Structure 1
């Protein structure tokens, strides 16, 4: 062992330096491809090549790395496949903004040159992401890295598009879509963020044709679209307007007659009960227009300025037009009132501008048949299991209410839609290869929504549509880890596309994690300026500290609050492990390593206890990892390492190792063995520091990355030793509590008398006198079944013994009586609580027999303590009366 290499304090930068490169050089992250091993695969949620990874990404990859590192150690043939997303709108917007700084637009460059610029951007930021992955220590197989625009993915995308088109599940049509006037592209519903903004209801008069001085009053939040009105509508059963149905109004400002129609879409209880119908600028109005065969009049350009059909308002920005229209209506006496209001308005997720409902010809996926398959699959053995389970219903609800998916985007960066239009006939050809006479055809200029390609990620990255070995061996994947905010964007789409094209679910499990919020509980965002760069955190606290914080705050589906205090505590915990390891290395000597461990029969109670506690820890951590309860697993590990191993076991070994006349081979072996085992348990969470320490006891040529994961060893399970040790620890803690309450420091020796309840307890305590001496510092230690006591003592009653400490001159009888009365009252309350619980028929019927037995065992303990405290209290009172 090379304990001289370990510094006196944990220094993360020194520990982490070079390790990732060593792991890559040894190829430890690649699948074993052992045919006897069970495969276990994860595909990374591909980050966008738009910039640096944020703290949410760090959380995401930490959880995946923990899973894959544990499975690798457990002997699975593990594949964690990395990759990145081209992120159509987001990446194009970034590159266009960069060009704008040079006074250029994409149109100045042309499509081919612009796309080359975007590829240059991609290469630069992909390298940045890989560097960040390395800093996070993630154990992906880079030899299989994929990109959503690579050649293989493009082949898969084209095949899926063509097959869906041939099945009638992709179609081209004119519909109201979400339009981003800045990026000038269509958006899916999920790319629209709704924000509450200050707006208004504008109440307007529309004159009734042929009826001088008669009007209907309509209310709208978007008066600029009134120029495209082609009807006003009332409810067919609204008695107020029955007589007007079939008549016409004159559309103000443009003086065009439009009909008054009846449609059940109108809510007669809302507003005036009369609504304007603008089929080209509102999705609901579009449907009303279809039912009544109304014309569709689009009054805006693609950049949201008013077009020629808007008359004198042509060229005005939509919001400038709104102001001018209201001013003109007011001047004509047609503005009734303006009601200020706060309402939800859609904004582009990528550019931030207000989205415009816009009539446009786009490509769509017909979602109902695909959704029905996904819904049905959740009733089969091939279902996807969500963690936490509530997201299963979230998924189903969305699939049951899904709308057709607009998949075309008016961009240059992305998968160009494999469709061609005949230059003369207008015929549409859709195919994986271009037409045989390309000179007669024009290629569709639009590209596909980014989510179209990422929906194929679990199987396209494995080589589909070609039947490659990876697809046969590693698909379906085992676990997807992702944030709950993209269950609709991505998770659901992967499920229905995988079922459609492979006949299988894309993954067995979906672990949904929450969002990282700031200390005040706010979502991290650029606008708030509260974002945290994970690389800065690593520079300050180390990667393992960040990973421990993220893992320990992790409960499926829950958000986490960023906390520098918790990161400092994580560093402190690692420093505790570091110092414990240094103690072990210094005390076992340079000739000790994993191969020389000899755990003999000459074990102390502490030896037996720590080995038994280790088995419980292995069992609990493994079980909790399987349930993705990483926060709970972390707490189990923390308490075992900090409390059991460091604070108790190591301290107890200091007592036995002081005896230089013995070799202490067993105790030294157990020190190393337990250290080795908990380092392996910790490795998936803290890869760097565990490797550093483990190589001190296993050799520099080995790696903990591929070491076997701990398994429960039945021969070390020892309930008797655990119970005995817990009694001993309870006694030591009680003595220290008494000293603390009496303001008697541990450094001051004080006589200690212990009244054991039986011979077995007396034997146990006698056998471990050395520990009581070390941890309690008695001047004289008496352990008897019935020790003679001085008059003035302070006492503590345990279920197996009573502790007495003569403190003449340091305590008043009145104070001790008062303390004993409080103890007795607490015991009375506990006994009463258990009696009520056991008397409850529902509890006895529903609770497992083990739980009922445990409650009864507690009651018996409390009764023993109650008797002993009552006797001692009577003695104290008698002594007080005798004074």
Structure 2
């Protein structure tokens, strides 16, 4: 036990306690068959990343679950780690290389460049984890994993080989999102949609054989630079305007060639002209049309976003957006461009390259998703639960429309695909079913000099989808790792944002169902329950600014979390961010809304210090010791009330965790501690602290409440609660607050029969005191403490007021409180409370004559305003001629003025 300092200094407290926790190994996850396991795998941040507000929210929520589990006596594992983030990391190192040495990765070569990336990772790879420690994250840091660690890489390559051998992985030419800046295929998750202003170009495609007076078709496009790759024009087969032309041909303008008119139901008859130019090599939907109709595929835009020789001599080597202008001008010169119509649409930009993506037909590796039906069944049957439940619809909707996953990337940083090709053979002629031509294994071929390894690496998501299994030793666990797998897997909870339900959550589930355990075509519910990576999925929203905009550096609306920690303290930031985070919905952030966290820290600190200064700290060695100090016979109504409220808030907090409803968590703790305990109970107890016969009992109750509040708040505010736990001498035999199991609602007041009647009586007293304060405020007497108040209660209600008259006077700020008796109430301002009416004697508090003069003057002014308003509304020209909203506003203003006038008249009458 130590003296609690006058002021709370979060930086000193947080640094000291975090160092103590690390030194003592408080965060180590240890297998203990005598305890219930609870495990969370941290969604691995990018190895190059820096802490942002999304990380603050996500990791604070995880830490809350983790620290609560420790308080409940569970064996706990919070597994940390980072993701190699293939394209993000490689792009960053390439930029540095160009800036520092003026070289490209090709100048260095693959091996030397990858060494450069490893050097970068060693220098900056742990920054975000250190920043998470400043936030108070209680991960088992000794277990920190990296998706390119040897053990993890082996898991990734094993998964690829197993999927390949089971027929789920294949190589094929398909349409992908292509980034011309980084020269790789990218996932949908790596595409940012941005509004762009451009043009709709309406052009003529001449019919090879005119149709009567019709000599051409009109076609609209936003991308004239691709028309050189057109191999058809499509119309809807039931479009009366064009269906008779199906089978005929039109001239592609340049390079000039006849192309067919086809009928396809994909065409929207109502959009544009109803005619669609089909470019199978440069549009996903066009490619599918081309597949259905056997169209030629002509690629005219290369991997770097430049046009090639197939586009014609005029365009060969031209950048695609320059080619757009040139193509439009060429059409105009040929008399084929009808108009340029300004048009605004959204265009996909590469997240890392920050250039518009190019839909491109590319030879890639694809994964057919396994165990899709079982993945659906796991959620539909409740084996895996989403919190909030509504997100399971999003999950199931995606699974119902799932398409094969492009898992290859044209990068050098990442898991190189474990496929080797026999030297001397043409890639296009390879038989992938012949092991003499294509070798697929984790170790590689025995005679590597005769083989060439695939150049591509795996998509980053194709490694992180193994995160729960691979971090626990899969696929070849040691004996010790097998114990860990058996104990921790499936993990308990996944905490993540809704934006990666598709890209990560669903894939982890399917990977676990297919790869964890023996290869089986169908799974029972029991087998599904054993293979899933987690049992509960807690979905939170995204953090946005006050205007609802996504936070970004370019907008300048994203604060640095380290600056916020410096300003509010880690605990203040954690409490504040949780306090404004609705379950599963987006969070509107502002610093003003975070201030509540720092304020609560100060309130908690001051209350603990006040308790320490109020009297000697007795036996706080444990819950039973404190309960043993409380004498129920000495407990008055307020004591029973606070004990009842303590049990209730403990139950409310328990429900937050069992029901995965963390949104009310901080609100429940805040309302109980700040209002019920500090504003009401502590204030009500000040008289008892002066009474030697009641003092120790009152302090014991305060010790009980503070002990429980510190444990309830500890998962959210770990540093300050640890400091005050020691300062108030709780459980001195335990090194840390996490070692003292938090009592349930039924245990926190064990042995004390809380008087339910007392709880109701105090609630009524509080309402009476609040009404008395409001009555004083109405007459501008809020700060005047010598006013006289009378009460008209009878019977039991009168007795309650009489028994608590001193307390009422203190908390309501009144000079005297007496029964009205036979006194006349005429003219006395009054208010109705649950314990009967209260009357305010104004003559005891104000200069009646002066107040009557003031009110008379105010009444005269209000009467004039009412008259003006009434006359305006009697005027037909105004009522019939003014806009409806103006007339309605006048009526509303008159009603408010009339109400204020009548209230002023009532107050004036009460003064006699």
Alignment equivalent of 1:728, drawn from 752, 761, 765 = 765
CA distance in 1: counterparts of 2:396 and 2:190, whole angstroms:
20
Tell me, what secondary structure is at the counterpart of 1:624? helix
Query: CA separation of 1:794/1:344 partners in 2, compared to 1, >3 Å: closer, same or farther?
Result: closer
Q: Residue 428 of structure 1 aligns with which residue?
A: 438
Q: Residue 900 of structure 2 aligns with which residue?
A: none
Tell me, what secondary structure is at the counterpart of 1:164? helix
Contact 2:583–2:663 (8 Å) recurs in 1? no
CA distance in 1: counterparts of 2:291 and 2:152, whole angstroms:
38
Bigger Cα displacement from structure 2, 87-96 vs 761-770? 761-770
Contact 2:829–2:910 (8 Å) recurs in 1? no
Tell me, what secondary structure is at the counterpart of 2:125? helix
Alignment equivalent of 1:74, drawn from 66, 72, 75 = 72
Query: CA separation of 1:365/1:735 partners in 2, compared to 1, >3 Å: closer, same or farther?
Result: same
Q: Residue 417 of structure 1 aligns with which residue?
A: 417
Q: How many pairs were matched up?
A: 816
Q: Residue 486 of structure 1 aligns with which residue?
A: 500
CA distance in 2: counterparts of 1:730 and 1:381, whole angstroms:
45
Bigger Cα displacement from structure 2, 676-685 vs 255-264? 255-264
CA distance in 2: counterparts of 1:238 and 1:673, whole angstroms:
79
CA distance in 2: counterparts of 1:798 and 1:328, whole angstroms:
85
Query: CA separation of 1:509/1:256 partners in 2, compared to 1, >3 Å: closer, same or farther?
Result: same
Deviation at 1:593, TM superposition (A): 3.5
Deviation at 1:642, TM superposition (A): 0.8
Contact 2:825–2:839 (8 Å) recurs in 1? no
CA distance in 2: counterparts of 1:556 and 1:670, whole angstroms:
34
Contact 2:772–2:812 (8 Å) recurs in 1? yes
Query: CA separation of 1:148/1:230 partners in 2, compared to 1, >3 Å: closer, same or farther?
Result: same
Contact 1:209–1:250 (8 Å) recurs in 2? yes
Tell me, what secondary structure is at the counterpart of 1:29? coil
Contact 2:197–2:342 (8 Å) recurs in 1? yes
Once the two structures are superposed, the pairs formed by residues 499-578 of structure 1 within 5 Å of their partners are 499-502=513-516, 503=528, 504-578=531-605
Q: Residue 166 of structure 2 aligns with which residue?
A: 167
Deviation at 1:692, TM superposition (A): 1.0
Deviation at 1:805, TM superposition (A): 4.0
Once the two structures are superposed, the pairs formed by residues 560-639 of structure 1 within 5 Å of their partners are 560-589=587-616, 593-594=620-621, 597=626, 598-601=629-632, 602-639=634-671
Per-residue CA distance 1:633-685 (angstroms, 9 max, x = gap): 211111111111111111122211123x4472211111111111101101011
Are 2:710 and 1:675 aligned?
A: no
Query: CA separation of 1:180/1:233 partners in 2, compared to 1, >3 Å: closer, same or farther?
Result: same
Tell me, what secondary structure is at the counterpart of 1:195? strand
Bigger Cα displacement from structure 2, 194-203 vs 173-182? 194-203
Once the two structures are superposed, the pairs formed by residues 70-219 of structure 1 within 5 Å of their partners are 70-102=68-100, 103-209=102-208, 214-219=215-220
Deviation at 1:811, TM superposition (A): 8.8
Q: Residue 842 of structure 2 aligns with which residue?
A: 807
Alignment equivalent of 1:442, drawn from 452, 460, 464 = 452
Bigger Cα displacement from structure 2, 119-128 vs 294-303? 119-128
Alignment equivalent of 2:808, drawn from 772, 779, 789 = 772
Q: Residue 881 of structure 2 aligns with which residue?
A: none
CA distance in 2: counterparts of 1:568 and 1:574, whole angstroms:
10
Q: Residue 871 of structure 1 aligns with which residue?
A: none
Query: CA separation of 1:747/1:247 partners in 2, compared to 1, >3 Å: closer, same or farther?
Result: closer
Query: CA separation of 1:177/1:880 partners in 2, compared to 1, >3 Å: closer, same or farther?
Result: closer
CA distance in 2: counterparts of 1:346 and 1:794, whole angstroms:
68
Once the two structures are superposed, the pairs formed by residues 73-472 of structure 1 within 5 Å of their partners are 73-102=71-100, 103-209=102-208, 214-312=215-313, 313-367=315-369, 369-382=370-383, 384-425=384-425, 426=430, 427-467=437-477, 468-472=482-486
Query: CA separation of 1:625/1:376 partners in 2, compared to 1, >3 Å: closer, same or farther?
Result: closer
Unaligned runs of 5+ in 2: 431-436, 517-527, 856-904
Tell me, what secondary structure is at the counterpart of 2:421? strand
Deviation at 1:448, TM superposition (A): 0.6
Per-residue CA distance 1:172-212 (angstroms, 9 max, x = gap): 00111111000100112332222221122222223333669
Contact 1:754–1:787 (8 Å) recurs in 2? no
Tell me, what secondary structure is at the counterpart of 1:378? helix
Alignment equivalent of 1:797, drawn from 832, 842, 854 = 832
Query: CA separation of 1:707/1:214 partners in 2, compared to 1, >3 Å: closer, same or farther?
Result: same
CA distance in 2: counterparts of 1:287 and 1:698, whole angstroms:
72
CA distance in 2: counterparts of 1:582 and 1:716, whole angstroms:
29
Q: Residue 51 of structure 1 aligns with which residue?
A: 49
CA distance in 2: counterparts of 1:320 and 1:60, whole angstroms:
43
Per-residue CA distance 1:71-96 (angstroms, 9 max, x = gap): 11011111111111111111111111
CA distance in 2: counterparts of 1:742 and 1:257, whole angstroms:
91
Q: Residue 829 of structure 1 aligns with which residue?
A: none
Once the two structures are superposed, the pairs formed by residues 655-670 of structure 1 within 5 Å of their partners are 655-659=687-691, 661-662=692-693, 664-670=695-701
Contact 2:784–2:814 (8 Å) recurs in 1? no
Tell me, what secondary structure is at the counterpart of 2:298? coil
CA distance in 1: counterparts of 2:565 and 2:337, whole angstroms:
60
Q: Residue 846 of structure 1 aligns with which residue?
A: none
Contact 1:592–1:697 (8 Å) recurs in 2? no
Q: Residue 17 of structure 1 aligns with which residue?
A: 15
Per-residue CA distance 1:467-496 (angstroms, 9 max, x = gap): 422211111111111111111121121122
CA distance in 2: counterparts of 1:417 and 1:880, whole angstroms:
90
Tell me, what secondary structure is at the counterpart of 1:302? coil
Tell me, what secondary structure is at the counterpart of 2:73? coil
Deviation at 1:802, TM superposition (A): 3.2
CA distance in 2: counterparts of 1:93 and 1:688, whole angstroms:
38
Per-residue CA distance 1:473-522 (angstroms, 9 max, x = gap): 11111111111111112112112212222242221111111111112221
Contact 2:204–2:218 (8 Å) recurs in 1? yes
CA distance in 2: counterparts of 1:204 and 1:474, whole angstroms:
64
Per-residue CA distance 1:720-758 (angstroms, 9 max, x = gap): 221121222223223333333333355543444334321
Deviation at 1:779, TM superposition (A): 4.7
Tell me, what secondary structure is at the counterpart of 2:344? strand
**What TM-score do the two structures reach when normalised by structure 2?**
0.85
Query: CA separation of 1:495/1:717 partners in 2, compared to 1, >3 Å: closer, same or farther?
Result: farther
CA distance in 2: counterparts of 1:626 and 1:406, whole angstroms:
39
Deviation at 1:622, TM superposition (A): 1.2
Deviation at 1:532, TM superposition (A): 1.0
Bigger Cα displacement from structure 2, 473-482 vs 592-601? 592-601
TM superposition outliers: structure 1 runs of 4+ over 6 Å:
811-815, 879-883
Deviation at 1:239, TM superposition (A): 4.3
Query: CA separation of 1:680/1:207 partners in 2, compared to 1, >3 Å: closer, same or farther?
Result: same
Cα-Cα RMSD: 2.7
Query: CA separation of 1:770/1:215 partners in 2, compared to 1, >3 Å: closer, same or farther?
Result: closer
CA distance in 1: counterparts of 2:630 and 2:589, whole angstroms:
43
CA distance in 2: counterparts of 1:541 and 1:451, whole angstroms:
35
CA distance in 2: counterparts of 1:807 and 1:238, whole angstroms:
86
Deviation at 1:60, TM superposition (A): 0.4
Q: Residue 824 of structure 1 aligns with which residue?
A: none
CA distance in 2: counterparts of 1:37 and 1:751, whole angstroms:
61
Contact 2:31–2:484 (8 Å) recurs in 1? no
Query: CA separation of 1:766/1:244 partners in 2, compared to 1, >3 Å: closer, same or farther?
Result: closer
Per-residue CA distance 1:376-395 (angstroms, 9 max, x = gap): 3333342x211222111111
Per-residue CA distance 1:798-838 (angstroms, 9 max, x = gap): 233333443336498999xx9xxxxxxxxxxxxxxxxxxxx
Alignment equivalent of 2:780, drawn from 726, 743, 753 = 743
Q: Residue 827 of structure 1 aligns with which residue?
A: none
**What TM-score do the two structures reach when normalised by structure 1?**
0.88
